[in-house]
């Protein structure tokens, strides 16, 4: 059984497996092929992969010889031959054409961004591991761009008040951003539609902004659901009021599979202090700020709006360390101790993440979206 790891390319600095993960896979008698320089940007050299027991190969050889191919960002479907297993992050509810191509090519494609949020799935939950990194990095970027200190300073040259940080969305990224901003000494306020996160916010030293009347759905598995118009209006008023007083706004609000809710309007930005920074982590799904441009930084009336959609790539060594564990744990779900493959689609994690298999779109949510698009 051969596992192949492709180099990512473009602006992506991460890699799906590090040498330490190769060593673990070798114990199962798996062969591991790594594309030359795949780990260089993550501080892992070809020599370290070789020492761990991998073979360095060309992309063509890896695509031809591997049974299972790992790549963080999806490869071209035309590179994938029938019968191969692909483990990647496909964003399949949006990248419908790619899904159809992979199905057409006879590829068994797993997408790790479709992992359910259950206790058992935590070890393969790349959305959580990457959101943790992104929440941390987002705050550091904000602090470095802000023309103010984060902490309070009292000195002979006067007293400097602490910066105020407003975090929208207290999921994995938002809570990590809160913890990081608090460590840097800022005053942090957090808003989320799920009242369940209030205690977590408070335990990390944040102030929870409450609005009554939020809709919650236990069946949504800990995720947010769409809110009523009345709630949205109240929410808008409160966010405007708090954004005006903030130096930094970190946007992380999302409802999975939907366009990100717009919570910061152009008008709100125009009331913010000159020099303020908005980090819109939801840029990849449209942004929580009306003015966000994905993967661009714009300055509007002296407010800097940063729409970086891949902060984890800016911390590639540790991001790859976490991803390597996530990918390895995922492989362990269908590769036995003797190195044989057993695709048990009764397993909730394999079932949720398998997007295409034997020429068909296997994932129900993705098939539904495709059906809807074809109407």
The residue nearest ligand NAD at its CB is 171
Q: How far is the CB of 322 from ligand NAD (least distance, A)?
A: 12
Report 209-238 residues binding ligand NAD (CB under 6 A): 223-224
Q: How far is the CB of 127 from ligand NAD (least distance, A)?
A: 5
The catalytic site residues sit at 117, 122, 125, 128, 223
171 near ligand NAD, rule: CB under 6 A: yes
Contact region for ligand NAD (CB under 6 A) — 48-56, 125-133, 269-277, 317-325?
Answer: 125-133
- Out of 146, 170, 188, 201, the residue judged to bind ligand NAD by CB under 6 A: 170
92 near ligand NAD, rule: CB under 6 A: no
- Out of 201, 253, 369, 370, the residue judged to bind ligand NAD by CB under 6 A: 253
Nearer to ligand NAD, 48 or 216 (CB): 216
Cα separations in angstroms, 87 against 55, 220, 262, 263, 290: 19, 25, 32, 34, 34
- Out of 98, 99, 187, 282, the residue judged to bind ligand NAD by CB under 6 A: 282
- Out of 49, 311, 327, 330, the residue judged to bind ligand NAD by CB under 6 A: 311
Give the interface size with ligand NAD as a residue count (CB under 6 A): 35
Assign 3-class secondary structure to the chain: CEEEECCCCCCCCCCCCCHHHHHHHHCCCCEEEEECCCCHHHCCCHHHHHHCCCEEECHHHHHHHCCEEECCCCCCHHHCCCCCEEEECCCCCCCHHHHHHHHHCCCEEEEHHHCCCCCHHHHHCHHHHHHHHHHHHHHHHHHHHCCCCCCCEEECCEEECCCEEEEECCCHHHHHHHHHHHHCCCEEEEECCCHHHHHHHHHCCCEEECCCCCCCCHHHCCCCCCCCHHHHHHHHHHHHHHHHHCCEEEECCCCCCCCCCCCECHHHHHHCCCCCEEEEHHHHHCCCECCCCCCCEEEECCEEEECCCCHHHHCHHHHHHHHHHHHHHHHHHHECCCCCECCCCCCHHHHHHEEEECCEECCHHHHHHHHHHHC
Contact region for ligand NAD (CB under 6 A) — 23-31, 33-41, 164-172, 358-366?
Answer: 164-172
Q: How far is the CB of 140 from ligand NAD (least distance, A)?
A: 12
167 near ligand NAD, rule: CB under 6 A: no
316 near ligand NAD, rule: CB under 6 A: no
Contact region for ligand NAD (CB under 6 A) — 38-46, 49-57, 307-315, 330-338?
Answer: 307-315
Nearer to ligand NAD, 170 or 354 (CB): 170
Contact region for ligand NAD (CB under 6 A) — 102-110, 130-138, 159-167, 351-359?
Answer: 130-138
Residues interacting with ligand NAD, by CB under 6 A? 127, 130-131, 134, 168-174, 191-194, 197, 223-224, 252-255, 260-261, 263, 281-285, 308-312
């Amino acid at each position: 059984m051969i596992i192949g790891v492709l180099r990512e390319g473009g602006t992506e600095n991460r890699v799906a497996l590090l040498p330490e993960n190769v060593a673990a896979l070798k114990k199962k008698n798996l062969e591991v092929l790594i594309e030359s320089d795949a780990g260089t940007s993550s501080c892992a050299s070809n020599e370290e992969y070789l020492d761990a027991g991998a073979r360095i190969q060309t992309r063509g050889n890896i695509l031809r010889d591997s049974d299972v191919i790992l790549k963080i960002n999806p490869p071209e479907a035309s590179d994938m031959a029938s019968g191969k297993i692909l483990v990647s992050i496909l964003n399949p509810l949006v990248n419908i054409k790619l899904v159809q191509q992979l199905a057409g090519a006879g590829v068994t494609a797993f997408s790790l961004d479709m992992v359910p949020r259950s206790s058992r799935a935590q070890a393969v939950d790349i959305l959580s591991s990457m959101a943790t990194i992104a929440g941390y990095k987002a705050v550091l970027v904000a602090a470095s761009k802000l023309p103010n200190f984060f902490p309070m300073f009292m000195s002979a040259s006067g007293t400097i008040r602490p910066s105020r940080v407003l975090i929208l969305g207290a999921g994995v990224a938002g809570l990590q951003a809160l913890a990081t901003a608090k460590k840097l000494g800022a005053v942090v306020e957090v808003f989320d539609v799920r009242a369940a996160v209030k205690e977590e916010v408070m335990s990390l030293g944040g102030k929870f902004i409450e609005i009554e009347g939020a809709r919650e759905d236990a069946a949504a598995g800990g995720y947010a659901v769409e809110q009523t118009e009345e709630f949205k209006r109240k929410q808008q008023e409160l966010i405007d009021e708090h954004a005006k007083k903030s130096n930094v706004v970190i946007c992380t609000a999302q409802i999975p599979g939907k366009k990100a809710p717009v919570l910061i309007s152009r008008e709100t930005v125009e009331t913010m202090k000159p020099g303020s920074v908005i980090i819109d982590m939801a840029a990849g799904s449209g942004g929580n700020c009306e003015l966000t441009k994905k993967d661009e930084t714009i300055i509007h009336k002296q407010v800097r709006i940063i729409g970086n959609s891949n902060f984890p790539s800016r911390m590639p060594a540790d991001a790859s360390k976490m991803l390597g564990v996530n990918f390895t744990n995922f492989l362990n779900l269908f590769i036995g101790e003797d190195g044989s493959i057993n695709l048990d689609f009764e397993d909730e994690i394999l079932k949720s993440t398998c997007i295409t298999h034997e020429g068909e779109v296997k994932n129900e949510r993705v098939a539904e979206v495709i059906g809807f698009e074809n109407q």
